[in-house]
Amino acid sequence: MTSITYASRWILPIDGPPIEDGEIVIENGLIAEVRPRRTPANECRDFGEAALLPGLVNAHTHLEYSVLRGFLEDIPFFPWIRALTVAKASLTTEDWLWSTRLGALECLRGGITTVGDNTDAGVSMQVLSECGMRGTIYQELFGIDDREPVDPIITALQEKISAHRYFESARVRVGVSPHALYTIRPALFDALNKYLKSEDLPISIHIAESPAESQLIEHGAGSFAEMFSRRGITWQSPQMTPTQYANLLGALNPKSLAIHCVHQTPEDTALLAASGAAIIHCPKSNAKLGAGVAPLARWLRTDGLRVGLGTDSAVSNNVQDLWEEMRFALLLQRAISEEVEAVSAAQILRLATLGGAEAMGLSDRTGSLTPGKRADMIAVSLSTPHVFPAADPYAALIYSARADDVLLTLCDGEVLYDAGRWPTLDSRAIYKQVRLGRLKT
């Protein structure tokens, strides 16, 4: 049996109060004990002025878009999503692999141990298996044009899912992402729902992200409707909110992640909570694309609603940094509500750990430092000039800490990042390959 003890000034288990001067015993990849410090310094790894906490859960991203960082800047949402589609067409499978590895490198550097990752190119399963991160990989599905038959789209999806299964493990599992309400037509949703009954896969879907989406779904108007008519795509507005429409299509259930939900009425929130679906909040992406501010404070007051946090991709947010995301989420809610009580630092840290794990159906194994759970744990320095002194560890982590304050990242007790080294990823090769700049603009 392998056993190792980690100690530090603070331990934040998330499912209980912080422990000052504590230690964590990890045995065979599991958390065996969380307790006050008792092991002599020469018999444990002591991080000193630092915090030990669960690995962060980035519940929505597109790791494969890392190579597109900085490429599509400062343009409105609609031309942004069109330009992204064109840029994607110029990349090869090999390009996508290196791009996804760059995303994984960044996640592990910043203490992310679990991702909910959408993939169109289909290489994320391989990369997660290589680097040892935990996650659910959602294979994206598109099909708005009813001139394109449904059956071949579902057959192609089945083939991709079968290929992904080769990489499935205790850490990595597969799901499906019907991309969005404006890229999947109702007949394709029906066919997907039939397929999901036989496969029992979790889903992730972008809902109510932009005002343009609401205009389309509620009124059949706006830039999406104009694009449909230019391309000869027939599409009927259901004359309801995006959340109501997602529910009508059968996209909301306890295995669904509803990504964004920026434009949501109180009734929509109640509907979503009743459906059992979880919401993933991506505030920086929403702000950067001018999509709006989601009602996070309301969600946190809604009983039974599971909420997680996501960075979204490097193309809409630039960084896979959940520390920055947590800080931004909290400050934004306080700014718009004009209330300090709107969201607390402890609530935000919970969203980025246990909240995300609950949303993804993984809280039986990760999200908190609870004996019996898998040892997904990080150490974060509290001795850097912008963090020290850390009398209140929640305040130190949420208002001051950054991704580069992370000292150690463990998944199942396995070291995935440790003081400038990634034992499972070749960082030099990743920089070299991504620098080759295959992206054609």
Instruction: Give the interface with Zn ion as residue ranges (CB under 5 A).
Output: 312
Angle at 313 between CA 135 and CA 103, to 5 degrees: 60
Helix (H) or strand (E) holding 328: helix 322-337
Nearer to Zn ion, 312 or 405 (CB): 312
CA distance 158 to 180: 19
Residue nearest to Zn ion (CB): 312
Angle (CA) 259-260-263 rounded to 5° is 135
Cis geometry, peptide bond prior to residue 149 (ω within 30 degrees of 0) = no
Kindly state the tokens that stand for 291: 């999509």
Instruction: Tell the smallest beta-carbon distance from residue 65 to Zn ion (Å).
Output: 9
Which residues neighbour 114 within 8 Å (Cβ) at sequence distance 6 or greater? 55, 56, 57, 58, 59, 133, 134, 135, 356, 357, 360, 362, 366, 367, 376
- What is the nearest approach in angstroms of Zn ion to the Cβ of residue 209? 8
Q: Which residues pair with 155 in a beta bridge?
A: none
Kindly tell me the sign of the dihedral angle through the C-alpha atoms of 74, 75, 78, 79: negative
If the CB atoms of residues 360 and 397 are measured against Zn ion, the closer one turns out to be 360
Residues 256, 260, 262, 266, Cα dihedral to 10°: 20
Contact residues for 335 (Cβ-Cβ < 8 A; gap 6+): none
CB of 339 to Zn ion, least distance (A): 29
- Which residue stretches of 110-261 are H helix? 124-131, 150-165, 186-199, 211-219, 223-230, 242-248
Nearest by Cα to 110 from 423, 416, 429: 416
Q: How far is the CB of 68 from Zn ion (least distance, A)?
A: 13
Cβ proximity to Zn ion: between 258 and 300 the closer is 258
333 in Cβ contact with 343 (< 8 Å): yes
| Residue among 121, 117, 123 nearest 138 (CA) | 117
Per the structure block, which two tokens stand in for 253?
Answer: 């259930």
- Choose between 313 and 347: whose C-beta lies nearer to Zn ion: 313
The least distance separating Zn ion from the CB of residue 61, rounded to whole angstroms, comes to 7
Residue 312 or 325 with smaller CB distance to Zn ion: 312
As measured in angstroms, the least distance from the Cβ of 118 to Zn ion is: 6
Residue 45 and residue 6 in contact, taking contact as beta carbons nearer than 8 Å:
yes
Q: Which amino acid is at 346?
A: A
Q: How far is the CB of 63 from Zn ion (least distance, A)?
A: 11
Q: Among residues 261 and 411, whose Cβ is nearest to Zn ion?
A: 261
Residue closer to Zn ion (CB basis): 64 or 312: 312
Q: Provide, rounded to whole angstroms, the least separation between the CB of residue 241 and Zn ion.
A: 20
Of 6 and 65, the one with the shorter C-beta distance to Zn ion is 65
Nearer to Zn ion, 259 or 273 (CB): 259
Closer residue to Zn ion (CB): 177 or 275 = 177
CB of 117 to Zn ion, least distance (A): 10
- Nearest-approach distance from CB 320 to Zn ion, in angstroms: 13
